[in-house]
Amino acid sequence: MIQKLRRKFIILALAALFVLLAVIVAGMNILNYRSVVKEADTTLTILSENGGTFPVVSEERPPWLPKDMSQEILYESRFFSALLARDGEVVYADMSKIYMVDQETAGKYIRAALGEDGEVGFVEDFRYMMVQEEQYTRITFLDCGRKLDLFHDFVFQSILISLIGYVLTAVIICILAGRFVRPVAESYERQKRFITDAGHEIKTPLTIISANVDLLEMDTGANPSLSDIRQQTGRLRDLTNDLVYLSRMEEAAGKLPMVDFPLSEVVSDTAESFVTLATSQEKELICRIEPLLSLRGNDKAIARLVSILLDNAIKYSPKGSQIELNLQKQGRRVLLWVGNRSNTPITAENLRHVFDRFYRTDASRNSETGGHGIGLSMAQAIVNEHGGKIGASSPDGESFVVTASFPG
């Protein structure tokens, strides 16, 4: 139990940490990239408004330079610009402010920019901007290579540092996880032991009550009061047995003896014992069982699972209806499902809670059906012990289908 809770805690904690780090790293890098683009666009706007060059400035800070930009940008920027005719032909190109780009390379960049949508964008490490100047189009390219390299380095370093921090935190969480979940696990273990011990203690007085009822009935004859006592005593005994069984299933998690057994035969034999019960209630049990299927598991637990599902289906279906049981192989898994029409409408809220202990879709029918609302909880425990999955569905809101899937 502690190991199971520990694994869940570790998975949830690491998943939350991963999402948090991913959001932080992505947010920082997006803001950093937008800062690079904003500065480049501001520089290009100044250049485009002044004929592809910076205005002549004095020693004082020029008023047109944004306050968040250093005046050094005027001297460290590398750029070139060109005037284009309407047919895209280069009329004039100013390459004086860049050394690494020749006329041929500049022509390649210009053609690439003209092939893009929009007046602003990137061509390799160059940010470009196009503006109209009378009958010409001026396109200005700004070298952002150094800033993009710094951005890429920051992305790499932020991811690397986050991964290192994630691994170190994961190690710490794995070491301390047992301490975090131990109080919850110990409390849960005490509850299960209490149920088991209380169940054994309750059985003795129930047996005595039943024996005394029999003696009273022999002395005074049958009467409704004694019948009610016997009925309620029987219901309490069944509830106690079910709770003890469920508790033992949870205590024996991973310890149930597993062998290969003929699944089709076990399901068929168990279902056969319910045919008479269904007929006596004017209901029809239809079984479709694929032959020669086998399963590695506990045959008694699987027989108990089939009994729970069929008993539940017969109890909560109207007279004249059909109960269907299907067992078949699908791919690498074995599917067992039991379906019936329900006495009451099935809602999405019902389906979310049907496997909860003591949950009943119609509590008012408790005395009539004799159920306790823990049958499907036991079914879930059995399926989980076999490494399978179980779920409930209602395609039309009136039928109720429970499907158990096992690894074949």
CATH architecture of 256-407: 2-Layer Sandwich (3.30)
Q: DSSP readout, 41-80?
A: HHHHHHHHHTTSSPPP--SSPPTTS-TTS-TTHHHH--EE
Contact 287, 294 (CB under 8 A): no
87-107 pLDDT per residue, tens = 778 888 888 888 888 888 888
- 48 pLDDT tier (thresholds 50, 70, 90): confident
**What residue type is 203 in one-letter code?**
K
Fold that domain 2-55+63-149 belongs to in CATH: Profilin-like (3.40.1840)
pTM over 0.85: no
Residue spans per domain, the chain: 2-55+63-149, 256-407
d(CA 133, CA 83) in angstroms, rounded, equals 9
Q: What element of type H or E holds 372?
A: none
Tokens of residue 197, six digits: 């011990």
**Dihedral angle computed from the Cα positions of residues 141, 147, 152 and 156, in that order, rounded to the nearest 10 degrees:** 180
d(CA 378, CA 250) in angstroms, rounded, equals 9
335-391 pLDDT per residue, tens = 999 999 988 888 888 888 888 776 666 554 444 555 556 778 888 888 988 889 999
d(CA 243, CA 374) in angstroms, rounded, equals 8
Residue 207 has phi, psi (to 5 degrees) of -65, -40
